[in-house]
Structures are given as structure tokens and as C-alpha cells.
Amino acid sequence: MTRFEELRCEEVLDVLEPWLDGDLPPDEEARVRVHLDSCPSCTAELALARAIQSELRSLPLPDCPPEVLERVRRARGGEVIPFGQPERRTSRPFRAALAAAMLAAAVGASVFFLPPFRNEEPDSEEVARAAEEARYALAYIGQVSRRAGLTLRDHLEAEPVRP
């Protein structure tokens, strides 16, 4: 007949939850059982571990309010693409041509609409307005950078789940 080497209480307390989960190898499980049969203190601790596990597993998952999905729909402008279907994207040459056209239009517009060049110092009102526009531009650039950072992180997060 095989005799188990007896476990000490601290050794048993270290494996109570794995024992409950059935994660222990058969021989160790048997040794824990032998100890529990003769140790009221560890048996009480096992009951506590079992109660905690049972209580945690019975905690309800709160429902997500339906408005959230509705907000997602609205955030996407009502456009919904079926899962797995590629998004429509403009081609790179087309986007480059579009950017060039917009730049040309902006330069052309500046010739017609900007005030004629003045060789004099700007007044304080003009300086204040320019400073305000600069602050706005910096804030906008900051916002765009933050979004770009989040997008980059999303891409990095997505990488590990590829097969």
C-alpha cells in the first residue's frame, strides 16, 4: 500500500482553488484530500474558497444599455458595413490627385481673396487675432496627433491576434 507524504497546512492552502478547479494532478489531489479529511482548519478554508468562487461565478453581468449601440451607429453616420466586408476606400493615386487639386485651389484662392501686401506694422487687434488663430491651429494639430496615436495603438493591438 502506498503511503502519501503528508502535506502541511500552508501547502494545502496554496492549492485550494486549483483543487476546486480540478487542476491538480491526481496524486497531489489525493494528498490534499487526505489532509483535508483530518484538518478542520483547512476544511473551513476550503469552504470559504468554495463560497467565494461560487459567489463570484453567480454575479450577474450587467446589461449594456441599448443606447450604446445606437450611439455607435450614429457615430458612424448611419453607415453600417457587414462584418468581414472590406470598407470602400479611395485609391492612393486618386487621393494624391485630390490633395494636389485642393492645394492648387487654395493657392489660387489666396491670390484673389487675400488683402494686398502692406509694408506696415500690424496693429494690436491683428496680432491678437493671429495669436488666436495660431492657438486654434495648434489645438487642432494636437487633437489630430492624439487621434493618430490612438489609431496607431489600435493597429499595434490588432497585430498579435493575427494567425
Partner 1 sequence: MTTAFETTAARYQKKVYSFARSLLSSSEEAEDVTQEVLLRLWRHQRRLDEERLGSWVLRVTRNACYDLLRKRRAAPALTKAESLDGEDAREIPTAEPDPESRVQASDFRRRLTDALAGLGEPYKSVVLLREVQGLSHREIGEILDIPEVTVRVHLHRGRKKLREQLREVYTP
Residue 163 interacts with partner 1 (CB under 8 A): yes or no: yes
Count of residues of this chain found to bind partner 1 when the rule CB under 8 A is applied: 48
Pick from 40, 38, 2, 36: which is nearest to 19 by CA?
36
The correct pick among 58, 90, 91, 110 for binding partner 1 (CB under 8 A) is 58
Query: Measured on CA atoms in the order 72, 73, 77, 79, is the torsion positive or negative?
Result: positive
Instruction: Classify residue 42 as exposed, middle or buried by CB count within 10 Å of its CB (0-12, 13-18, 19+).
Output: buried
Residue 40 interacts with partner 1 (CB under 8 A): yes or no: no
Residue 37 interacts with partner 1 (CB under 8 A): yes or no: no
The correct pick among 3, 10, 22, 56 for binding partner 1 (CB under 8 A) is 56
What is each CA distance from 153 to 76, 83, 156, in whole angstroms?
A: 20, 21, 5
The correct pick among 5, 10, 87, 123 for binding partner 1 (CB under 8 A) is 87
The correct pick among 65, 77, 78, 115 for binding partner 1 (CB under 8 A) is 65
User: Whole-angstrom Cα distance, residue 152 to residue 156?
Assistant: 6
Residue 30: Cβ within 10 Å count = 13
The correct pick among 68, 106, 111, 114 for binding partner 1 (CB under 8 A) is 68
Please report, as ranges, the residues that interact with partner 1 according to CB under 8 A.
Answer: 13-14, 17-18, 44-45, 47-49, 51-53, 55-65, 67-69, 71-72, 75-76, 80-87, 151, 153-155, 157-158, 160-163
